[in-house]
Structure 1
Amino acid sequence: MDASEFIKKNNLKIKSRIKLRVDGTDFEGILLPSQDFLQIKLDNGYNVGFNPELIKSLEIIATPEEKIKAKQAQLEQDASLPQIVILHTGGTIASKVDYGTGGVSPSFDASEIVSLFPELQKVARISSVFVSNIFSEDMRFENYAIIAREIAALLKDKPKGIIVTHGTDTMHYTASALAFMFENLPVPVILVGSQRSSDRPSTDAMLNLVNAARFIAKTDFAGVAICMHSGLDSNACHILPATKTRKMHSSRRDAFKAVNSRPIAKISEDRLEYFGSYPKYTGGELKLYAKFEEKVGLLKARPNISPEEISFFQDKAYKGLIIEGTGLGHIGITEAKNKDNLKALQSLISSGCIVCMTTQCIFGEVNPNVYSTGRELKKAGVIFLHDMLAETAYIKLAWLLGNFGKEKALELMEKNLRGEISERSILEPLPSE
């Protein structure tokens, strides 16, 4: 008898919780789709398979329907705790493996989220809203507007704060977008991600999400920030500034770091530590500017770059371009074979496109006054953006052009609106773990 026959004979349903006895040992877990061997997922996250002929006893602990009812019954929340809304946009943070399909699916019902993260019930009353479930690399400007409008609607119910679950790869872009779109945010809006799905034993989702809730429950911070692991072996998370943070590693749990800045705070189960001053709500009407100019580009300077690449943005009528320059903010324009790059930039700027310079060094700032290359670029009309991150600059320029037009964008790109430009350089080490 193979597994499919065993399942049919015993009237089993995929995703049921069952207990098996094999060779004198009991195994309990979730029934997975099976063919030859009966597959179950143990509570430790591992899948195991059994020859149906060796199964001595079988107990059905809960069917999928019974599991849902049990989760709903368990959702009794403490009315004295602050209200926090979890807004799901995508990523693995609020997802789990769907054992019916084998894929990862979102869990956006409050009872589902609390069942995945029971610690949340000790921190806040949780409600949840599903906005989307897309990979973060598929985010577009229109998605930012949808998320922002949902946040604005939720704020009418006066929650203590909002957690936005998001894929990690472009979370820093979304954080910047939300920071620019909102003016006079009255509560914390914290973006949270994870590197592994929430029901895996190695997940970082629980700590990131629960610490975000802890921070919201305790703080008077108002604005947009990111909450992620502060270190590989730490039980704490850093609260990171929306416009000064970048993903610095493809897979580490502590991948997100504040750049040319410090974390806003460090949060753990029993401690909240601030690293400096931070924005608080001082009154004023909530304003939302949710438009973005689509025709804005991001170009990385490098050896052998050609004028044709620069001219592309003029040919396609782009209205803005961020150059991720080398070092202090350079692109090849000096040697004979590179002089046409300068001509292409001059032509692009003359066509009406705003061209700005950042540094691909990530840390540090651009300065056009050190070398002749920088002076020539500045003379041509390139705007140097101090220590603004390239990703943040890209979002800011698209946002300014979308809402206020070219003249206002030219005026405001070099002005610090949401903490994107440091008032002074941060040379000392970041706070230790």
Structure 2
Amino acid sequence: MRLRIRSRCSSKRCSGLFLNLFNHFILCSHFFITFKSFLFWLGKMITYLNYLFSHRHMPEPGDTVIITTHETEERGILVPSPKKETHLLKLENGYNMGFHTKDIVKMKVVQKAVVPTSSSSLSTKNAKLPTIAILHTGGTIASKVDYRTGGVATEFTPEELVALFPELQSICNVESELIAQMWSDDLRFAHFELIAKSIEKYVKKGVDGIIIGMGTDNLAVASAALSFIIESSPVPIILVGAQRSSDRGSTDAAMNVVCAAHFITQTDFGGVAICMHEHSSDTTCAILPGTKTAKLHSSRRDAFQAVNDSAIASVNYKTGDVTYGKDVYRRKAKELVVTPKMEEKVGLLKIHVNMVPEQFLLYKGWKGLVVEGTGLGHMPTQVPNDDAKIHAKIAKAIEDVIASGCVVVMTTQCVFGQVNMNVYSKGRDHLQAGVIPGQDMLANTALVKLSWLLANYEKEKIPLLLQQNLRGEINEQLTFDKTFVKR
């Protein structure tokens, strides 16, 4: 009996002990789960804080950084990358270099990007210095890459211009206006009128000169057009471009602008001209005639050269000294005369092999057409054999175009030299048909001259005016030059 009781008591003890152990186990399990959860969320918080801290100091587009890999170390400006796993660096030489994230050992921020503040005018001006208005129409001349967005940003308040071209502070006071932000190959005749109105506004304000910033592709065409539109000017008007953007180590923007400013403050020149690198080195800029200049290279900094003419002057970048290349150029006038109208329906046709009559008939009913002929000024109008029978139809098409009232002017595809349509029978046939010789005018210069004449003069006067030298676009006589390509 006692044994049975003890047995029961022992069972109760075991049962109570088991319950106590079970309860402790449950409590420990809860604690373990809670502690594990605590550790989990603590880890999450540490990760988040680390993320915030690291991103606070993480390089951003526009920052100057040093990227170190196992093989190299490069310094440059961080630019937006199209791939998340790649960091793109614009090096000091202007080229981009990509680095895969796994290859980067260290990335150090040397300088944070500076966001410029905008302002309408300089707070102080130097009364002893002349004032130059800088008008911008587009291109890279006063622009740089916005590395936060990857796009091009225009730096165009006076403060920003001085920051971009600090040498200007000792040369002139600056006024500025953003006329447009466009590629120069999108220029139309209406834009030349817009630029002329801005020129008129700043001349009336009394500035001492005007610099027009523009893309280089059609800079020479714009210069020629403005040369005719601005009939006389009391201040120099200088068009400036840049072949390399201002954020590249090889940029020509600053030198071209600074040399233009030096020239304006020292000259008695009163027309329209171009200021670009004279050589590929950063030594001098050439002041080139507005109607006799062509872009002869797609990317060289000295791409712009005078054709059948010479530079007006040379400007030393370091000293600012101006050396004149010729004595005959337009001097400052007493007043500004602007005649901005341009005829829209004027075309330019380049002669090439295998042409068809429809290419000429396209201009039937137009006001004017400039033909860029071969050699001395020729078109495919003769029939030497059966394979060229279509040329008879081309000759008839040219006659029909002229009969429709279209003024047709002949220029040459050759960069240098002039048209002479009296040498060969073919040229004389063109003259008899009514084609007007364009002398040694550049094709694009002839285009804008014809457009300007058609908009401002009676049609009967145009054939004579086309062959007269109005803005230095025609040479009375070309002299033989052994080195006709100036370098």
TM over 0.5: yes
Partner-residue secondary structure (3-state), 2:362: helix
Cα deviation, residue 402, structure 1: 1.8
Which runs of 5 or more residues in structure 1 are unaligned? none
How big is each residue's C-alpha offset from its partner over 1:356-398, in whole Å with a ceiling of 9 and x where there is no partner?
1011112111111111011111111100011111110001111
Aligned residue type for 2:473: E
CA distance in 2, matches of 1:383, 1:19: 62
Structure 1 equivalent of residue 370 of structure 2: 322
Structure 2 equivalent of residue 242 of structure 1: 290
Counting only pairs closer than 5 Å after superposition, residues 94-133 of structure 1 correspond to structure 2 as 94-133=142-181
CA distance in 2, matches of 1:127, 1:242: 23
Partner-residue secondary structure (3-state), 1:68: coil
Cα deviation, residue 410, structure 1: 2.8
How big is each residue's C-alpha offset from its partner over 1:109-150, in whole Å with a ceiling of 9 and x where there is no partner?
112121121112222112211001101111011111111111
CA distance in 2, matches of 1:209, 1:83: 14
Structure 2 equivalent of residue 279 of structure 1: 330
CA distance in 1, matches of 2:359, 2:367: 15
Give the greater-gyration-radius structure (CA).
2
CA distance in 1, matches of 2:426, 2:107: 79
Q: Work out which of the residue numbers 406, 429, 433 in structure 1 matches 2:459.
A: 406
Cα deviation, residue 81, structure 1: 1.6
Alignment CA distance shift 1:217-1:56 (3 Å): closer
1:309 aligns with 2:359: yes
Alignment CA distance shift 1:171-1:51 (3 Å): same
| 8 Å Cα contact 1:92/1:195 also seen in 2 | yes
Partner-residue secondary structure (3-state), 2:363: helix
1:231 aligns with 2:282: no
Counting only pairs closer than 5 Å after superposition, residues 407-422 of structure 1 correspond to structure 2 as 407-422=460-475
CA distance in 1, matches of 2:266, 2:441: 30
Alignment CA distance shift 1:229-1:89 (3 Å): same
| 8 Å Cα contact 2:270/2:333 also seen in 1 | no
| 8 Å Cα contact 2:59/2:65 also seen in 1 | no
Q: Work out which of the residue numbers 299, 303, 306 in structure 2 matches 1:251.
A: 299
Which runs of 5 or more residues in structure 2 are unaligned? 1-46, 384-388
Higher relative contact order (CA 8 A, sep 6+): 1
Aligned residue type for 2:189: F
1:298 aligns with 2:348: yes
Counting only pairs closer than 5 Å after superposition, residues 34-433 of structure 1 correspond to structure 2 as 35-36=84-85, 45=94, 55=106, 64-65=114-115, 67-68=116-117, 78-269=126-317, 270=319, 271-277=321-327, 278-283=329-334, 285-314=335-364, 317-335=365-383, 336-428=389-481, 429=483
Alignment CA distance shift 1:57-1:302 (3 Å): closer
Aligned length: 425
CA distance in 1, matches of 2:124, 2:242: 26
Aligned residue type for 1:422: N
CA distance in 1, matches of 2:53, 2:189: 47
Partner-residue secondary structure (3-state), 1:90: coil
> Which has the larger displacement, 352-361 or 100-109?
100-109
Cα deviation, residue 54, structure 1: 5.2
Partner-residue secondary structure (3-state), 2:169: helix
CA distance in 2, matches of 1:329, 1:291: 29
How big is each residue's C-alpha offset from its partner over 1:272-299, in whole Å with a ceiling of 9 and x where there is no partner?
111112211242x422111111111111
Alignment CA distance shift 1:251-1:393 (3 Å): same
Cα deviation, residue 427, structure 1: 2.5
